[in-house]
């Protein structure tokens, strides 16, 4: 009986996977320079040589589609880890201030000149990791590794980053720099090129670690006292798992800018589908996140005519009904959950 698995798990994973492939294929085709699936097939098998199609495909379209999927995967997986580790369905990667820190880093680079795509990415990544280090350092200094300490430290670091961002916005040149900062904080893949695919590496490291340690993540849900008595040092493992998750988030945010809510709703959708947090839950969080981001990126570039919309507009639109459903489902639950 312990082996009796409902067909739910394979069905959900298959569905999310098929959706990912479909969205990925559409994402490869659609754009200001449309490509057909036949052309893409030829490109991938080495045909078409050095044509415009080849350049569009390999330097823009393919990196963009890959990055959209990787970004969604990283945010979804990180969200799943945060909710599990904090034992709170409202926890999300924003909690450790990584998005705020990364925004501050990007804005600083934009205002202080450099402004090149790679410099902005490096600045955002560095500042994102710095804010994580600050949060972990604060938690360590408090000598209590309770979840509330993390939340407070995250709020503190986020608020500081926000203050810094406000200062930079007032200092910024309203014509060019302010617009760039604003655009960055709404998230977009429009400037994605193959050169920025380096961000995939930290995501791979983080995702591999998290999937490897998912038993430890589940154990943390028992609470510190039981986790310790079961053989898991809670403070150390919480820091490691959050570190891996935040590493992924910092890496993708440094490329795309801040993409709202994916880290919060992807785990809720995955949990709604799977109805459990064991087994395939974390991988499914990643898959759902990738689906969401591919869909958002597709919608962001449909207006055509060169103008692109920020990703966050669409991820918020996706999030609203999911969060509404969540609220309705919890109606009358009392404080049991």
Site residues, another protein (CB under 8 A): 1-2, 4, 83-84, 87, 89, 212-213, 215, 218-219, 221-223, 225-226, 228-233, 271, 275-278, 281, 337
At its nearest, how many Å lie between another protein and the CB of residue 220?
A: 8
Coil vs helix vs strand at 174: coil
Q: Cα separation of 83 and 90, whole Å?
A: 7
At its nearest, how many Å lie between another protein and the CB of residue 144?
A: 10
Q: Are 263 and 242 contacting, i.e. CB atoms less than 8 angstroms apart?
A: no
At 57, which helix (H) or strand (E)?
Answer: none
At its nearest, how many Å lie between another protein and the CB of residue 88?
A: 8
Q: Cα separation of 290 and 292, whole Å?
A: 5
At its nearest, how many Å lie between another protein and the CB of residue 76?
A: 16
CA angle centred on 35, ends 284 and 33, rounded to 5°: 105
At its nearest, how many Å lie between another protein and the CB of residue 152?
A: 19
Shorter beta-carbon distance to another protein: residue 176 or 275: 275
Q: Which residues contact 176 (CB under 8 A, 6 or more apart)?
A: none
At its nearest, how many Å lie between another protein and the CB of residue 287?
A: 17
Shorter beta-carbon distance to another protein: residue 19 or 218: 218
Q: Cα separation of 215 and 143, whole Å?
A: 25
Shorter beta-carbon distance to another protein: residue 183 or 213: 213
Nearest to 79 by CA among 297, 331, 325, 252: 252
Shorter beta-carbon distance to another protein: residue 119 or 233: 233
Residue in this structure with the two tokens 């798990």, named with its chain if needed: 9
At its nearest, how many Å lie between another protein and the CB of residue 99?
A: 24
Nearest to 68 by CA among 119, 125, 25: 25
Go through 85-122 and write b for each residue having 16 or more CB atoms within 10 A of its CB, e for each that does not: bbeebebbbbbbbbbbbbbbbbbbbbbeeeeeeeebbb
Q: Are 203 and 293 contacting, i.e. CB atoms less than 8 angstroms apart?
A: no
Shorter beta-carbon distance to another protein: residue 83 or 312: 83
Shorter beta-carbon distance to another protein: residue 89 or 126: 89
């Amino acid at each position: 009986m312990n082996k009796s698995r409902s067909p739910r798990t394979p069905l959900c994973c298959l569905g999310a996977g098929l959706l990912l492939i479909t969205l990925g294929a559409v994402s490869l085709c659609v754009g200001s320079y449309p490509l057909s699936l036949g052309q893409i097939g030829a490109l991938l098998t080495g045909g078409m040589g050095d044509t415009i199609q080849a350049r569009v495909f390999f330097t823009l379209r393919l990196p963009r589609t890959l990055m959209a999927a990787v970004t969604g995967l990283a945010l979804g997986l990180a969200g799943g880890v945060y909710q599990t580790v904090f034992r709170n369905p409202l926890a999300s990667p924003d909690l450790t201030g990584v998005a705020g820190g990364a925004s501050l880093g990007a804005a600083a680079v934009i205002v202080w000149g450099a402004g090149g795509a790679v410099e902005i990415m490096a600045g955002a990544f560095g500042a994102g990791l710095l804010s994580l280090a600050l949060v972990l350092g604060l938690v360590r200094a408090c000598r209590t590794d309770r979840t509330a300490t993390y939340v407070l430290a995250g709020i503190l670091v986020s608020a500081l980053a926000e203050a810094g961002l406000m200062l930079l916005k007032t200092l910024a040149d309203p014509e060019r720099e302010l617009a760039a900062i604003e655009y960055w904080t709404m998230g977009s893949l429009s400037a994605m090129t193959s050169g920025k695919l380096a961000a995939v590496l930290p995501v791979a490291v983080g995702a591999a670690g998290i999937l490897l340690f998912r038993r430890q993540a589940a154990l943390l849900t028992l609470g510190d006292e039981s986790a310790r008595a079961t053989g898991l040092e809670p403070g150390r493992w919480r820091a490691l798992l959050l570190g891996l998750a935040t590493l992924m988030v910092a890496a993708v945010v440094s490329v795309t800018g801040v993409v709202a809510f994916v880290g919060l709703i992807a785990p809720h959708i995955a949990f709604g589908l799977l109805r459990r947090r064991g087994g395939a839950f974390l991988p499914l969080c990643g898959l759902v996140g990738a689906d969401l981001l591919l869909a958002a990126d597709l919608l962001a570039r449909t207006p055509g005519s060169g103008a692109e919309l920020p990703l966050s507009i669409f991820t918020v639109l996706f999030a609203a009904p999911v969060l509404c459903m969540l609220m309705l489902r919890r109606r009358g639950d009392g404080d049991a959950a």
